[in-house]
Amino acid sequence: MAEVILSKVRKAYGSVLAVKDFSLDIADQEFVVLVGPSGCGKSTTLRMIAGLEDITSGTITIGNRVVNDLQPKDRDIAMVFQNYALYQHMTVYDNLAFGLRNRRTPERDIEAAIRHAAKVLSIEGLLDRRPRQLSGGQQQRVALGRCIVRNPKVFLFDEPLSNLDAQLRAQMRLEIKELRQRVPTTSIFVTHDQVEAMTLGDRIVVMKDGLVQQVGTPLELYRRPVNQFVASFIGSPSMNFFQMRLSGAGDQILLTGEGLSLALPPARFSGLARNGSDSVTVGVRPQHLRLGRAEGADQVSFSGTLMVTEQLGDEQLLAIRVGNSDIRIAGVDPELNLATGASIEVATAMDNLHIFDGTSGVALR
C-alpha cells in the first residue's frame, strides 16, 4: 500500500504562513495534481512530502508510516524536477544507475531495472549518450526513468513540463498518462497549468494563498466550483463574470447590472432569494455561450459589441463588450465573418449560470 495522508500540515517562514492546515488523503495508485498560481504553496507542500522542507506542524504519512522525521532517502519516494537534475558528465545509463548503485544494488539487478525502464520509455537507443546530446523531451524521459528504476512507493512531480515548448508538453502529457498504465504508482503532480491538471489528475487540489480551495475530479471542479476563484482558475478560456444586483419582482428573481437585466424563476433559483445578499457575481463559461437570441423560457440572452476575434482554425473566439466587462465566446464557426464594432446577441441556458456571493465569492448556485 502507498497511501499518502497529510493531516493539518503547516509551513511557516517566520511570521509568514506558506501552507495552512493542509489535509488530504491520497489513495494507493491515485494521481493527484496540486494546482494554483505562483506562491500558493503547492511546491512547498510537495517538498514537505519529499522531506526537502521541514514541516512546522501536522503529520505526513506514506504507506502507513509517519515520515515527519525521516530523511528524503528513507521515505521511499522518487522526484522529477523542473530542470531534470541530470548529471551532465554521466551517460544516460549511469544517470539511471546512480541511485541504485548508492544503495549497493547488485549490478545484474541494476541492468535489468534499467533495460525495463528504457523499454517502457522508449529510450533504449539513448543509454550511451550524455544529457547535453538529448532534446528536452528525451531528458525528461530519462528523469522519469530514474524514478522508475527505483520502484518507489510514490512519484513526486514538481512542474516537470514547464521548460518544454507547447507541442512537446502536449506529447509528454500523453506519455505520462501512458506511463501510469504501465507503472501504476501513487503520484503527486504540481503545476500552475490548469490544462495539465485537468488532463492528468484523477483528482485536483486547487490552492490559493496556502489554503486548499477545493478538491475534486476535473469535471467536479469544472461543473461545480465552490467559489469564484476556482471557477476562474479552472477552464480555458476563463469563465466570464458580471457584477450584478439581486432583487425580487413578483414571480421572478431579477439580476441587474453591467447593462443587463436577467429574469430568473424562483423555483429554480430559490437559494438566491434566501441568501440575504443583494450583491452577486454571475459567471458563465465561454463554451456555454452561443450567438443568437434565447429560444425558450429556460434560456437568457443579452447583447454586446464585438471587440476582437481570434481565429484558431477549427473555431473562433470572440471578445465582446457588455457594459463595463469584456467577455469571451468560444466555439464560434470559423467561417463566420463578423465585423469589429458589430452588435452581437448572445444566449445561454439558465443551468449554465454560476452565481457567487459578491463579497465572499462563495458559490450560491
Residue 115: partners with Cβ closer than 8 Å, 6 or more residues away: 124
**Residue 221 corresponds to which cell in the numbers above?**
471542479
Instruction: Please give the Cα distance from 22 to 2 (Å, whole number).
Output: 19
Domain CATH code at residue 215: 3.40.50.300
3-state secondary structure of 130: coil
Task: Read off the pLDDT of each residue in 107-123 and give the average, rounded to a whole number.
Answer: 89
- CA 175, chain centre distance (Å): 18
Residue type, 360: S
| Residue ending a domain, choose from 191, 225, 259 | 225
| 22 and 113 both lie in a single domain | yes
Task: Read off the pLDDT of each residue in 59-84 and give the average, rounded to a whole number.
Answer: 91
Residue 84 confidence (pLDDT) above 80: no
pLDDT at 349: 92
Instruction: Kindly indicate the confidence band of residue 130, based on its pLDDT and cuts at 50, 70 and 90.
Output: very high
Instruction: Kindly indicate the confidence band of residue 249, based on its pLDDT and cuts at 50, 70 and 90.
Output: low
| 152 and 271 both lie in a single domain | no
Instruction: Kindly indicate the confidence band of residue 209, based on its pLDDT and cuts at 50, 70 and 90.
Output: very high
Task: Read off the pLDDT of each residue in 57-85 and give the average, rounded to a whole number.
Answer: 91
Residue 365 or residue 36, greater confidence: 36
Task: Read off the pLDDT of each residue in 163-179 and give the average, rounded to a whole number.
Answer: 83
| 110 and 10 both lie in a single domain | yes
| 258 and 214 both lie in a single domain | no
Residue 145 confidence (pLDDT) above 70: yes
| 151 and 253 both lie in a single domain | no
| 256 and 132 both lie in a single domain | no
pLDDT at 137: 83
pLDDT at 323: 82
Residue 362 forms part of a structural domain? no
| 316 and 216 both lie in a single domain | no
Beta-ladder partners of 306:
320
Residue 340: partners with Cβ closer than 8 Å, 6 or more residues away: 306, 307, 308, 309
Task: Read off the pLDDT of each residue in 25-46 and give the average, rounded to a whole number.
Answer: 95
Residue 120 forms part of a structural domain? yes
Residue 197 forms part of a structural domain? yes
Work out how many domains the chain is built from and give that number: 2
Per DSSP, the residues of 325-340 read EEEEEEEE-TT----T
Could you say which DSSP state residue 286 is in?
A: G
The region of weakest confidence among 102-116, 196-210, 273-287, 330-344 is 273-287
| Residue ending a domain, choose from 198, 225, 252 | 225
| 262 and 198 both lie in a single domain | no
| 151 and 21 both lie in a single domain | yes
198: left (phi over 0), alpha (psi -120 to 50) or beta: alpha
pLDDT at 1: 59
| 218 and 245 both lie in a single domain | no
| 91 and 116 both lie in a single domain | yes
- CA 325, chain centre distance (Å): 26
Per DSSP, the residues of 35-78 read E-STTSSHHHHHHHHHTSS--SEEEEEETTEE-TTS-GGGTTEE
Query: Before 237, cis peptide (omega within 30)?
Result: yes
Domain span at residue 280 reads: 240-357
Task: Read off the pLDDT of each residue in 203-208 and give the average, rounded to a whole number.
Answer: 97
**Tell me: the pLDDT tens digits for 255-290?**
888 778 888 877 677 666 555 558 899 999 999 999
Instruction: Please give the Cα distance from 44 to 11 (Å, whole number).
Output: 8
Residue 59 confidence (pLDDT) above 90: yes
The structure's pTM equals 0.90
| Residue ending a domain, choose from 200, 225, 250 | 225
**Residue 45 corresponds to which cell in the numbers above?**
507542500
Residue 116 or residue 262, greater confidence: 116
The two beta strands, 290-291 and 343-349, are antiparallel
Residue 179 confidence (pLDDT) above 80: yes
**Residue 156 corresponds to which cell in the numbers above?**
513526486
Contact in structure between 259 and 282 (CB atoms under 8 Å):
no
Instruction: Kindly indicate the confidence band of residue 164, based on its pLDDT and cuts at 50, 70 and 90.
Output: confident
**pLDDT > 70: percent of the chain:** 96
Task: Read off the pLDDT of each residue in 130-143 and give the average, rounded to a whole number.
Answer: 88
Instruction: Please give the Cα distance from 98 to 101 (Å, whole number).
Output: 5
pLDDT at 80: 87
Residue 363 forms part of a structural domain? no
